[in-house]
Amino acid sequence: AQSVTQLDSHVSVSEGTPVLLRCNYSSSYSPSLFWYVQHPNKGLQLLLKYTSAATLVKGINGFEAEFKKSETSFHLTKPSAHMSDAAEYFCVVSPWDNYGQNFVFGPGTRLSVLP
């Protein structure tokens, strides 16, 4: 069975400082992994995805994530936080053996950015 753990339910950073949102997964096969962002009362926007190509994935708005198979991690980073980054972030695993029929969502991490 696949599962996703987001170790921090809430992360608070100051504007201009680095962001680290942690995600660990368990999967029987080599999965595809995604990060989505959700602003209040909005749908989810795709930030980036890993699909067995380069392990360092660059996404939109300066975010990137590194797939580390040995650590079963896919942490999301950004060098410098902006106020507009304040939102809820979801790490998602898509099991290879099920061709994405069922996304498995992490519980989410709420990012606060302080001025």
Partner 1 sequence: GAVVSQHPSWVICKSGTSVKIECRSLDFQATTMFWYRQFPKQSLMLMATSNEGSKATYEQGVEKDKFLINHASLTLSTLTVTSAHPEDSSFYICSARDSFGGETQYFGPGTRLLVL
29 touching partner 1, by CB under 8 A: no
Burial label for 86, CB within 10 Å (0-12, 13-18, 19+), is middle
Task: Using the structure block, give the residue that is written with the tokens 């190509």.
Answer: 53
Total residues binding partner 1 (CB under 8 A): 22
52 touching partner 1, by CB under 8 A: no
- The binder of partner 1 chosen from 2, 21, 23, 34 (CB under 8 A): 34
Asked if residue 21 lies in contact with residue 5, where contact means CB atoms within 8 angstroms, the answer is no
State which of positions 59-88 bind partner 1 (CB under 8 A): none
Give the 3-state secondary structure of residue 81.
Answer: coil
Contact positions vs partner 1 (CB under 8 A): 32, 34, 36, 41-46, 49, 51, 90, 94, 99-103, 105-108
